[in-house]
Chains A and B, each alone.
Chain A
Amino acid sequence: MSIEVRDLNYIYNAGMPGETVALRDVSFDVCDGETLGIIGHTGSGKSTLLQHLNGLIKPASGEIIVNGQCITDGKTKMTEVRRKVGLVFQYPEYQLFEETVAKDVAFGPKNLGMEEEEIEEKVRNAVGLVGLDYEEIKDMSPFELSGGMKRRVAIAGVIAMGPEILILDEPTAGLDPSAHRDILAMGRRIHDEMGIILIFVSHNMADIAMLSDKVIVMSEGTIALSGTPKEVFSQRERLEVMGLALPPAREITELIKSKAPAFKSDAITIDEAAEDIKTYLEEARG
């Protein structure tokens, strides 16, 4: 399983007033079981990029190759692409429409033409994976759920389609801390249990540091930086120029470094930072 993106370009409203170059020569790849985090200022083209990955937008130029198969040559069947690449939009809770949660989650699998029993099983699994109790909520109306639960139901709707690549656009935006934590834990669980490629956008640097194996930083439609989270988050100045910041754990270790030059750390998560600080204190005590 892999996804490769080569020299992608896209322009909104080409040749009209309000023309916006949304993507400029974007290239990257993600391999088996990896998690890719995407960060970038608002309007930097993240959502536009994600919509290319399952064929919702046709690029002006460039190609996208999923599992060795080019999906931008115009020959590939789109339902095939959408089965492989599951995309969950920003604020997905606004796309719920069915009378019951079970029916809504079954919408995707049904569109793919799965059998009745297979659908039932996929729906049950998906609802479980997003951390909800299937028996309890299957007959509820999706509109009576809380915001965080609605979002999980919407994500389950895509997971039930059995994607090999799951893409989440700002899955934690606008949630309270506990719902935020749940969604993150869910992301990790889905990735680990289903062994799929996970691609997600977030404005929360701590989430990016914790979840991703690779990070790309978008700025004005281009990839300005990419690498492992540690590589990316060691470029503080460049990130700040693009209106981005370091994860809180890194902010703190940088601050300590500036006051205590002997302190060494390249931590980006709170756990790593705590570990480094402990080591430093133990050494200092001798």
Chain B
Amino acid sequence: MIRDITLGQYYPGDSAVHRLDARTKIIATLLYIIELFVVNNFWGFLIAAAALFAVIAVSRVPLKFIFRGLTAVFLIIAFTFVLNLFMVEGRVLWHWKFLTITYEGVHRAFFMAVRLVLLIIGSSVMTLTTKPVELTDGLEKLLKPFSKIGLPSHEIALMMTIALRFIPTLMEETDKIIKAQQARGADFESGNLLQRAKSLIPILVPLFVSSFRIAQDLALAMEARCYRGGGGRTRMNEIKFRRGDAVAAVLMVLFLAVIIASRFITL
């Protein structure tokens, strides 16, 4: 259901991965995503996947949780797979009317699907092991240098904090509204596409009204506590790099070297 979306969800824990500085995890994740596109053969993907699952094992987040995030984007993955399968030109493997599957297409489709899966799992590992507040704090710190050229780093981070903070609230609200309309006999499951789209109105209108109410309440509450933007604000919990982060940095460099080397494996 609606609660299956793990994006931006935190899995409480106290593993080495949880304890890493959020900045380290953000950089590591970005790097990992880039590396996924550096990889160009089977062995590279095997190494990348093994590394990811090693991190998951250390984080002690149950696999069930990690894969739940995948189900939400399964359609996108399937779509890119099919698209790649039929659209790439090359040596013909199979042909039927206007459909052609090429050797290169199969290759590309599989690699792209694996890439996407690893990419999504990789980013969910980051969000699952980092509290949303730490994540946005880390992001704010990382973006700080860019504020010299006019990037509103504090505001961006605040917007993200608020958005992440309100994902569960809005889901709860949606759940409640759906149930309330179901209690009034609303049916969201049957009918054709148009009827189904129409049946969303009783959910969307109250949801919009609620969101505006929640946003207004929040703005008022922030103003009542004299919030005036980022200038001169200090934090209750300063984030700091620790030994674990140094270890992680070394591992990241090693991993990068291995991934680049993997491009030259020919077996």
Chain A residues near B (Cβ < 8 Å): 16-17, 51, 54, 56, 79, 82-83, 86-89, 92, 94-97, 107-108, 111-112, 143, 157-158, 161
Contact of A94 among B177, B185, B186, B187 (CB under 8 A): B177
* Cβ A111 vs Cβ B206 within 8 A: no
A residues within 8 A CB of B184? 82, 95, 107-108, 111, 157-158, 161
Shortest distance from the beta carbon of B241 to any chain A beta carbon, whole Å: 28
B residues within 8 A CB of A16? 65
Supposing A17-B11, A79-B185 touch, asked if A97 and B180 sit within 8 A by C-beta, the answer is no
Interface residue? B182 (CB, 8 A): yes
* Cβ B183 vs Cβ A82 within 8 A: yes
* Cβ A89 vs Cβ B176 within 8 A: yes
Supposing A17-B12, A97-B206 touch, asked if A108 and B185 sit within 8 A by C-beta, the answer is yes
* Cβ A89 vs Cβ B185 within 8 A: no
* Cβ B187 vs Cβ A89 within 8 A: no
B residues within 8 A CB of A51? 179
A residues within 8 A CB of B209? 94, 143
Contact of B206 among A17, A79, A83, A95 (CB under 8 A): A95
Chain B, 234-258, CB within 8 A of any chain A CB: none
A residues within 8 A CB of B179? 51, 56, 89
How distant is the Cα of A92 from the Cα of B180 in the complex, in angstroms? 8
B residues within 8 A CB of A108? 184-185
A residues within 8 A CB of B11? 17
How distant is the Cα of A96 from the Cα of B206 in the complex, in angstroms? 6
* Cβ B186 vs Cβ A111 within 8 A: yes
How distant is the Cα of A51 from the Cα of B183 in the complex, in angstroms? 9
1/0 per position for B168-211, CB-CB distance to A under 8 A? 00000000110111111111000000000000011001100110
Contact of B180 among A79, A83, A95, A111 (CB under 8 A): A95
Shortest distance from the beta carbon of A22 to any chain B beta carbon, whole Å: 14
How distant is the Cα of A111 from the Cα of B185 in the complex, in angstroms? 5
A residues within 8 A CB of B177? 94-95
Number of interface residues of B (CB under 8 A): 20
* Cβ A158 vs Cβ B201 within 8 A: no
Listed residue (B180, B183, B201, B206) with the most chain A CB atoms within 10 angstroms of its CB: B183
Shortest distance from the beta carbon of B134 to any chain A beta carbon, whole Å: 18
B residues within 8 A CB of A92? 180
Listed residue (B12, B65, B185, B202) with the most chain A CB atoms within 10 angstroms of its CB: B185
A residues within 8 A CB of B185? 79, 82-83, 107-108, 111-112, 161
Give 17 A-B pairs besides A89-B179, A92-B180, A111-B186 with Cβ atoms closer than 8 angstroms.
A79-B187, A82-B185, A89-B183, A94-B177, A94-B180, A94-B209, A95-B177, A95-B180, A95-B181, A96-B206, A97-B205, A107-B185, A107-B186, A107-B202, A111-B187, A112-B185, A158-B183
Among residues of B, the one whose C-beta sits closest to the C-beta of A12 is B3
How distant is the Cα of A112 from the Cα of B183 in the complex, in angstroms? 11
Among residues of B, the one whose C-beta sits closest to the C-beta of A15 is B64
B residues within 8 A CB of A157? 184
* Cβ A94 vs Cβ B210 within 8 A: yes
B residues within 8 A CB of A79? 185, 187
How distant is the Cα of A87 from the Cα of B176 in the complex, in angstroms? 13
A residues within 8 A CB of B187? 79, 111
- What are 14 A-B pairs with beta-carbon distances under 8 A? A16-B65, A87-B183, A88-B183, A89-B179, A89-B180, A94-B206, A95-B177, A97-B201, A97-B202, A108-B185, A112-B185, A143-B209, A158-B184, A161-B184
B residues within 8 A CB of A94? 177, 180, 206, 209-210
Among residues of A, the one whose C-beta sits closest to the C-beta of B186 is A111
Among residues of B, the one whose C-beta sits closest to the C-beta of A91 is B176
Among residues of B, the one whose C-beta sits closest to the C-beta of A16 is B65
B residues within 8 A CB of A95? 177, 180-181, 184, 202, 206
Among residues of A, the one whose C-beta sits closest to the C-beta of B12 is A17
Shortest distance from the beta carbon of A183 to any chain B beta carbon, whole Å: 18
How distant is the Cα of A92 from the Cα of B181 in the complex, in angstroms? 10
Shortest distance from the beta carbon of B67 to any chain A beta carbon, whole Å: 13
A residues within 8 A CB of B176? 89
How distant is the Cα of A87 from the Cα of B185 in the complex, in angstroms? 11
Shortest distance from the beta carbon of A90 to any chain B beta carbon, whole Å: 9
Shortest distance from the beta carbon of B235 to any chain A beta carbon, whole Å: 27
How distant is the Cα of A96 from the Cα of B203 in the complex, in angstroms? 9
B residues within 8 A CB of A56? 179, 182-183
Listed residue (B11, B12, B177, B179) with the most chain A CB atoms within 10 angstroms of its CB: B179
Among residues of A, the one whose C-beta sits closest to the C-beta of B205 is A97
B residues within 8 A CB of A107? 181, 184-186, 202
A residues within 8 A CB of B65? 16
B residues within 8 A CB of A161? 184-185
Shortest distance from the beta carbon of B49 to any chain A beta carbon, whole Å: 25
